Structure 1
Amino acid sequence: MRIKNISVFTSFGTFLVLLIIVSFHVQTKAADGDDQNAGRWSRSDRVYIVYMGSAAVSSTSSDDLSSLKDDHAQLLSSVRTRKPNAVVYTYKHGFSGFAARLSNEEARSIAEKPGVVSVFPDPLLKLHTTHSWDFLKYQTALKIDSNLNSKTTDRVSSVTTTDGSDTIIGILDTGIWPESESFNDKDTGPVPSRWKGTCMKSHDFNSSNCNRKLIGARFYNTSESDGTTEIDSPRDTLGHGSHVAGTAAGTAIPGASYYGVAAGTAIGGSPGSRIAMYKVCSDGGCRGSDILAAFDDAIADGVDVLSLSLGSASWSAPELSNDPIAIGAFHAVEQGIAVVCSAGNGGPYPETVVNVAPWILTVGATTIDRDFESDVLLGGGKVIKGRGINFSKLEKLPVYPLVYALSAGTHDANELSARNCEVNSMEAEKIKGKIVLCDTGGDSSRNGQIDTVKSLGGVGVIFQVEHPGVAAGTYVALPATIISVKDGQEILSYINSTSQRTCIRHKEHSQGKPAGFSFPIPNFPRKENTNISNVVCLQPDIAAPGVNILAPWKGNDTSVALEGQDPPRFNILSGTSMACPHVSGIAATVKSQNPTWSPSAIRSAIITTASQTNNLGIPFTTEKNSTATPYDYGAGEVTTTGPLQPGLVYETETVDYLNYLCYYGYDLSKIKTISRTVPKEFTCPKDSNADYISNINYPSIAISNFNGKESKNVTRKVTNVAGDGETVFSATVDAPSGLTVKVIPEKLQFSKNNQKLSYQVVFSPTTSSPKEDMFGSVTWTNGKYRVRSPFVIDI
């Protein structure tokens, strides 16, 4: 297996911001290189990341090579000698390496140097784009110990700003809007003395923008080398970072809403935690070199939890050794920092989960018990349910003419363009004063289509799509709604009838309904050794609310403002971007209550206490109303109180991750370069291959290539954190037909706190040819605590 590979590629990404689909094209043109840079790098150079594994002793000076490993220092010095100013970043706190402008030939040469793990082009990643805490409050079957601090048992009614005050959540995103009231530091204590970060200055941001709540703000910029938008301030220019930060750790703000929609108290999952923002994304995307620089700084700054609502596109997920998030997260976890990442928005299609390294807590998205309907009312009282957020001034009765966009097409318009309501495709006289039925597709965004209809005098838009989904778009230019193609056919028939009047009416529902918005399907490892293609870990790990989430917004966004009104203080977004900070906030709360717990213990507490039913006690369904499986939601939906008292935890130790790297295909010398914590006596297991990954001490179990002919054994180890000293946990198994599952031993007798005991699970087929993947769980309970581990059997 060749680890030091060079893979030059072009990536085109599309990500969700403001529920508007915006395309970002990664420019792979060379740096222009002005006269001042002539002779330093050529027009064919581009930024490469040179990853050299674990760091030596940390250094605070960017020019100090004395603390770097010899290989790193020598290579870095050589590059600087040949090409002054070519080095963009030096990574030295949590891991070793640098980013530099190199030619392809130079990159290939460096890849062969001693101490180099991988060299790869700087990738462009993308963002994965309240009341949700009220909803989650009831998502637990665990009886909470009455002696537990009451401030942590009710995330809404009794939470105070002292919750989690010693924890620091680092957020890698688009920056922050410091003036938002969600980031005020009223009643917040002094900044933890261990904090080593900074509040960077810029033309629109200075140290006074930070406070005891927002304790750090950094920005990164390598973009001048490739023409993408420059990042020159920690200030949030997109709104996404402020939304994420407020969801994770925003101060409680009563009376929050988006112009009266989704009204209530806006609050973060850990409202007392401190926020450190690392701005790595602009409207051009998120550079891998910037992401690694932010990881490196965050490790040195002293964060407790890192939250990343971003990642690669599912169709271009990089190899482990070329993945800046996996690399940065590995070294953060080595330093005791929990890393929480969004799973991506590629579902419901197979193999779409990203950020799947086992040291990352990967989060999918679910709905909450709130929905925003924008229904179409036809003549005769017929109502077709649609989805959207509108502030319509239209009459609430069907009095407006209705027209299909194709019927309004110009004489020379392309049929597809007309159906999609694209610019210059429709005649104004056929649109004016009417509600227009549009298809979606082509190159237009929905807001662009709405603007086109508005410019022609239209009064509303109905979009018909194959799968309307569950996220509600926000439309301020005109009333709009999204319906299914099936319902669209009914509207088309209605248009062709004698009566053609309609209206669009907005409704907000806050009532119990099955949660069903969750993206991931089976996860397969992506690696150079392509003969291995099996499930290695159940992903996502967990799910959390990610649909129609209200949270803080940048304060100058007129694009989402109602006509004649000030920009909103809060906005509503959907995506795994919104789910991720829910879990980050809970992780910070768990850390505050258990400061000595490792990232894997925190992850285990969250996974094993998840709920598999909605707030009505109904099993989860997908958006198509089929029964959901762990491929959709992982272990289930996160709960707010369960992780504070998990009973038992699965601690994934350093040796587990090292063995994972062995199973993944790395040789021992590479592993010792990657990790600073490799024991001297460590060796890779004999016959290392991906089949053994099931045995890493993970809270869930995934069995690959189960052929129905032989049994499969896995081993797990749990730590007693029940606080009860002597206690006995008994195992119960939920197994599907066609599978026998035996736990050995069936009881675990602990004599003291923090004691570790192991057990085996034996999976035996009862049929010789199982036809589909199987799901179940192993649950340990002592009458007070319930510790559930889901399993997936991949056929």
Structure 2
Amino acid sequence: MWLPLCFVVALLAVRPGGGLAGERSNDVYVVYMGAVPRRTSPNFLQESHLRLVGSILSRGKVAQSVVVQQYKHGFSGFAARLSKDEAAALRKKPGVVSVFADPVYQLHTTRSWDFLQQTDVKIDGGARPKAAASSSSAPTTVTDTIIGLLDSGIWPESPSFDDTGFGAVPSTWKGVCMAGADFNSSNCNKKLIGARYYDLGEVDGAGARSWSSSNSPRDEAGHGTHTSSTAAGNAVTGASYYGLASGTAKGGSAASRVAMYRVCSDEGCAGSAILAGFDDAIGDGVDVISVSLGASPYFSPDFSEDPIAIGSFHAVAKGVIVVCSAGNAGPEASTVVNAAPWIMTVAATTIDRAFESDVVLGGGNRSAVKGGAINFSNLDKSPKYPLITGASAKSSSVSGTDSASHCEPGTLDASKIKGKIVLCNHSQSDTSKTVKVDELKSAGAVGSILVKDAERAVTTAYLDFPVTEVTSGAAVDLHSYIASTSEPVATITPSITVTGYKPAPVVAYFSSRGPSAQTGNILKPDLAAPGVDILASWIPTSSLPAGQKQPSQFNLISGTSMACPHVAGAAATVKAWNPTWSPAAIRSAIMTTATQQNNDKAPMTTDSGTVATLFDYGAGQVNPTGALDPGLVYDLAADDYLHFLCNYGYGASQIKLITSPPAGFSCPGNASKDLISDLNYPSIAVTKLGAAASRTVTREVTNVGAQEDATYTVTVSTPAGLDVKVVPSKLHFTSTLKKLAFQVTFSSNNTTAKDAMTGSITWSDGKHTVHSPFAISN
């Protein structure tokens, strides 16, 4: 038995004076001590932590005054305010796996479920399981599946968390509803069944702790409320963002219960709090953990020093599914985070909805130039406002026209733009769009048109100021019109919602890409889900469009943060249908049934229009309905993860600190990162194959279909330069033979290939299609 080891770009910071910027005399360190010893009570574990800390403290210091978090349910360890020397002393103590400065991670910040075709189905003629109420409707027979979220808190008054129709809280639930600032136990109910918060606060020289204003489960950022309602929010009719994206907002598993673990404050998400959230979620009895946050791709801590890798390892060991966001550092390669093989890692894609705001030009019969943004423009519908370029409004104090054409702050003459619509170029290296627009507005412009190609799928909200964004192709028509007349005029229309938009899905530009710098022989991200302009619940805000008296209860947000809870909701539904399945089996069901085509029945593309690859979307776009009946699954047992750790580079002695392996466990003498490719994963990745070389990997599948006597036949999509042979080519399952293995041999005949060669292996019995992608690099 083994017991151990989530819209902004992810940047890792360390607390002021922390490990990356030099350490002060007393910073918070995490002391990770691996698995909870068998037959050890939480109270005994807490006392042993305090004794351990006391053994290295100087005379006069008390352990209770420096320990700020203790982990005692899913794993052992604590966080303490220590000096550099004290931390070093603890590293030498028996039973300590790692000691590291407390990192601060950042959050990876409706129509989407309709787009995913989340419909009610019957499986193979069988009756629908009692626990599996449709995940796209209000619960009829409520499931006891519980989704825990490590996030910024929750706004309990949101209608997404109303408990009408829910029965008693599951008897297995051991969690609490913590009282805090503007939050008490009555804020929880039969839907929102738990809420915790973690805040280290500030400690003065005497060891006294001063709590900050974030000592509450209540969401002050909106992020946690948004992700929670995306994963498990009730169906709320008439939802919209001030009339846009109107419809029914619902979570992926509306019948699931919600538990919030507030691990993030305005400063970020402390690693010590993240570990505490995992520890409590495991002890409380959640079924799924959704984590929409992560480290920077440019600072990848080892698994034994990464709070998310540590916490998720222990959660999976306890049978809890962990789903994390891939990060928002795309489109650069090798930026994916949360890439441990026990985590389900999610990239972001678009849905078939857009927000159109057009430019209507003067001059007679000209058609509107299509643009996209969120604005509630009050401009006249007639094109009567003078239209100029930023370059033509250049200030006399500025040399050259390039920066003025981009409307960079300080480059334009206010007298030239007052009362006009200004056409501005925009690139990713520019000053932010909102800063540009604010300056134009302050200078008296009546509106703006931004020309950009990158980021075009993500809609920016400009509210009352009339702004729209157009592609460089559309801008050609604008420049042509401006050049054709001495008095060009235009207007900008208020935004409207357009559905059925094609192509969709496309991979969002910001979504972090593989391959993983840590685990190149595991294909990451695992799959993709809607993460662009997602409508979900939000906290009240004072920024209201003109004429609005009440803040919207919903908001449109983008990020892999939004994609992650889509998969968490799908996982909870699969879990409800199959309560005995392991986290690996549930991941397999979701991955092997994912789709790779868009609504034009063509291969998925990226935001820039290029064909997307496995390193963009993994196994494909999540298909929640298909995942309920996968046919075959790739399962993983305890030994599989132990051997992964061996192959990754951990020695048996270190693994024994982290886990409780079987008696006599040792790492194979041939342990190697190359052998990670043999992990029984639903996808296959092989690195350093070598020109004119071969590599054979083994996989095992389990028949979970209703038909016990089933024969599956393989088909292979093979790229140029690679030979792929699967043995055997048929798998015949019976009532007594539910697991079968096969081997795949990859032989390279391309001596010049620089990019990974990608394809897929698909098993089918005529009803089920079990799709496994592969990526092979020389």
Q: Deviations over 1:567-602 (max 9, x none)?
A: 101111111111111100010011111111111011
1:50 to 13, 24, 31: 31
2:522 alignment partner in structure 1:
537
Q: How does 1:178-327 map to 2 (within 5 A)?
A: 178-224=156-202, 230-327=213-310
1:171 alignment partner in structure 2:
149
Q: Is the 8 A contact 1:30 1:44 kept in 2?
A: no
Report the CA distance shift for 1:655/1:179 in structure 2 as closer, same or farther (over 3 A). same
For residues 90 and 581 of structure 2, what CA distance do their matches in structure 1 show?
Answer: 39
Look up the SS of the partner of 1:16 in the other structure: coil
Q: Which amino acid aligns with 1:437?
A: L
Tell me whether 1:525 sits opposite 2:508 in the alignment.
Answer: no
Q: Is the 8 A contact 1:516 1:622 kept in 2?
A: yes
2:623 alignment partner in structure 1:
639
Q: 1:759: Cα distance to partner?
A: 1.1
Q: Is the 8 A contact 2:350 2:507 kept in 1?
A: yes
Report the CA distance shift for 1:22/1:375 in structure 2 as closer, same or farther (over 3 A). farther
Q: 1:210: Cα distance to partner?
A: 0.4
Tell me whether 1:335 sits opposite 2:318 in the alignment.
Answer: yes
Report the CA distance shift for 1:537/1:358 in structure 2 as closer, same or farther (over 3 A). same
Q: How does 1:395-406 map to 2 (within 5 A)?
A: 395-405=380-390
1:347 to 320, 323, 330: 330
Look up the SS of the partner of 2:605 in the other structure: coil
Q: 1:788: Cα distance to partner?
A: 1.2
2:497 alignment partner in structure 1:
508
Look up the SS of the partner of 1:94 in the other structure: coil
Q: Deviations over 1:378-410 (max 9, x none)?
A: 334254433211111112332212344455455
Look up the SS of the partner of 2:606 in the other structure: coil
Q: Which moved more, 1:282-291 or 1:146-155?
A: 146-155
Q: 1:737: Cα distance to partner?
A: 2.3
Q: How does 1:67-216 map to 2 (within 5 A)?
A: 67=45, 72=49, 74-78=51-55, 83-84=61-62, 85-137=65-117, 144-149=123-128, 159-162=137-140, 165-216=143-194
Q: Deviations over 1:328-383 (max 9, x none)?
A: 10011011100000111111111111110000000111111111122333334254
1:436 to 419, 422, 445: 422
Report the CA distance shift for 1:80/1:589 in structure 2 as closer, same or farther (over 3 A). farther
Q: Which amino acid aligns with 1:93?
A: H
Q: Is the 8 A contact 1:310 1:577 kept in 2?
A: yes
Look up the SS of the partner of 1:581 in the other structure: helix
Q: Is the 8 A contact 1:47 1:225 kept in 2?
A: no
Q: Which amino acid aligns with 1:177?
A: W
Q: Which amino acid aligns with 1:499?
A: E
Report the CA distance shift for 1:153/1:57 in structure 2 as closer, same or farther (over 3 A). closer
Q: Is the 8 A contact 1:719 1:754 kept in 2?
A: no
Q: Which amino acid aligns with 1:123?
A: P
For residues 213 and 103 of structure 2, what CA distance do their matches in structure 1 show?
Answer: 16
Q: 1:485: Cα distance to partner?
A: 4.9
Q: Which moved more, 1:131-140 or 1:504-513?
A: 131-140
1:701 to 684, 690, 694: 684
Q: Which amino acid aligns with 2:506?
A: G
Q: Which moved more, 1:578-587 or 1:459-468?
A: 459-468
For residues 574 and 621 of structure 2, what CA distance do their matches in structure 1 show?
Answer: 16
Paired residues in the alignment total 753
Q: 1:477: Cα distance to partner?
A: 3.5
Q: 1:176: Cα distance to partner?
A: 0.7
Report the CA distance shift for 1:706/1:682 in structure 2 as closer, same or farther (over 3 A). same
For residues 24 and 229 of structure 1, what CA distance do their matches in structure 2 show?
Answer: 22
Report the CA distance shift for 1:152/1:55 in structure 2 as closer, same or farther (over 3 A). closer
Q: 1:43: Cα distance to partner?
A: 5.4
For residues 18 and 520 of structure 2, what CA distance do their matches in structure 1 show?
Answer: 39
Report the CA distance shift for 1:138/1:597 in structure 2 as closer, same or farther (over 3 A). closer
Q: Is the 8 A contact 2:414 2:443 kept in 1?
A: yes
1:619 alignment partner in structure 2:
603
Q: 1:138: Cα distance to partner?
A: 7.1
Report the CA distance shift for 1:424/1:229 in structure 2 as closer, same or farther (over 3 A). farther
For residues 757 and 22 of structure 1, what CA distance do their matches in structure 2 show?
Answer: 41
Q: Which amino acid aligns with 1:483?
A: V
Q: Which moved more, 1:436-445 or 1:592-601?
A: 436-445
TM-score (norm 1): 0.88
Report the CA distance shift for 1:285/1:230 in structure 2 as closer, same or farther (over 3 A). farther
For residues 670 and 423 of structure 1, what CA distance do their matches in structure 2 show?
Answer: 55
Q: Is the 8 A contact 2:534 2:562 kept in 1?
A: yes
2:566 alignment partner in structure 1:
582
For residues 118 and 139 of structure 2, what CA distance do their matches in structure 1 show?
Answer: 21
Q: 1:479: Cα distance to partner?
A: 1.7
Report the CA distance shift for 1:193/1:26 in structure 2 as closer, same or farther (over 3 A). same
1:630 to 614, 634, 643: 614
Q: Which moved more, 1:682-691 or 1:595-604?
A: 682-691
Look up the SS of the partner of 2:579 in the other structure: coil
Give the alignment's Cα RMSD to 1 decimal: 3.0
Q: 1:524: Cα distance to partner?
A: 3.1
For residues 95 and 192 of structure 2, what CA distance do their matches in structure 1 show?
Answer: 38
Q: Which moved more, 1:146-155 or 1:231-240?
A: 146-155
Report the CA distance shift for 1:57/1:298 in structure 2 as closer, same or farther (over 3 A). farther
For residues 552 and 370 of structure 1, what CA distance do their matches in structure 2 show?
Answer: 18
2:373 alignment partner in structure 1:
388
For residues 692 and 234 of structure 2, what CA distance do their matches in structure 1 show?
Answer: 56
Q: Which amino acid aligns with 1:510?
A: T
Q: Is the 8 A contact 1:365 1:547 kept in 2?
A: yes
Q: 1:490: Cα distance to partner?
A: 6.0
Q: Which moved more, 1:299-308 or 1:108-117?
A: 108-117
Q: Is the 8 A contact 1:610 1:636 kept in 2?
A: yes
Ranges in structure 2 where 5+ consecutive residues have no aligned partner: 1-5, 205-209
Q: 1:679: Cα distance to partner?
A: 1.1
**Percentage identity across aligned positions?**
50
Q: Is the 8 A contact 2:135 2:255 kept in 1?
A: no
Q: Is the 8 A contact 1:57 1:93 kept in 2?
A: no
Q: Which amino acid aligns with 1:674?
A: I
For residues 81 and 94 of structure 2, what CA distance do their matches in structure 1 show?
Answer: 20
For residues 139 and 164 of structure 1, what CA distance do their matches in structure 2 show?
Answer: 17
Q: 1:461: Cα distance to partner?
A: 2.3
Q: Deviations over 1:178-225 (max 9, x none)?
A: 001010000001100111111111120001110000001111112436
Q: Is the 8 A contact 2:46 2:70 kept in 1?
A: no
For residues 143 and 780 of structure 1, what CA distance do their matches in structure 2 show?
Answer: 22
Report the CA distance shift for 1:383/1:139 in structure 2 as closer, same or farther (over 3 A). farther
Report the CA distance shift for 1:325/1:211 in structure 2 as closer, same or farther (over 3 A). same
For residues 384 and 320 of structure 1, what CA distance do their matches in structure 2 show?
Answer: 50
Q: Is the 8 A contact 2:507 2:612 kept in 1?
A: no
Q: Which amino acid aligns with 1:624?
A: S
For residues 652 and 561 of structure 2, what CA distance do their matches in structure 1 show?
Answer: 36
1:591 alignment partner in structure 2:
575
Q: Deviations over 1:675-732 (max 9, x none)?
A: 23x1113211222121000001101101111213221100111111113222222222
For residues 756 and 483 of structure 1, what CA distance do their matches in structure 2 show?
Answer: 54
Q: How does 1:672-687 map to 2 (within 5 A)?
A: 672-676=656-660, 678-687=661-670
Tell me whether 1:449 sits opposite 2:436 in the alignment.
Answer: yes
1:604 alignment partner in structure 2:
588
Ranges in structure 1 where 5+ consecutive residues have no aligned partner: 1-14, 32-41, 527-533
Q: Deviations over 1:487-527 (max 9, x none)?
A: 5576456556523312222342211522212434332333x
Q: Which moved more, 1:242-251 or 1:766-775?
A: 766-775
1:16 alignment partner in structure 2:
7
Q: 1:254: Cα distance to partner?
A: 1.1
Look up the SS of the partner of 1:350 in the other structure: coil
Q: Which amino acid aligns with 2:324?
A: C
Q: Deviations over 1:127-163 (max 9, x none)?
A: 11111111111799x9953434299999677x33146
Q: Is the 8 A contact 1:48 1:107 kept in 2?
A: yes
Q: Is the 8 A contact 2:13 2:104 kept in 1?
A: no
Q: Deviations over 1:533-558 (max 9, x none)?
A: x722111101111111111111x212
For residues 337 and 236 of structure 2, what CA distance do their matches in structure 1 show?
Answer: 33
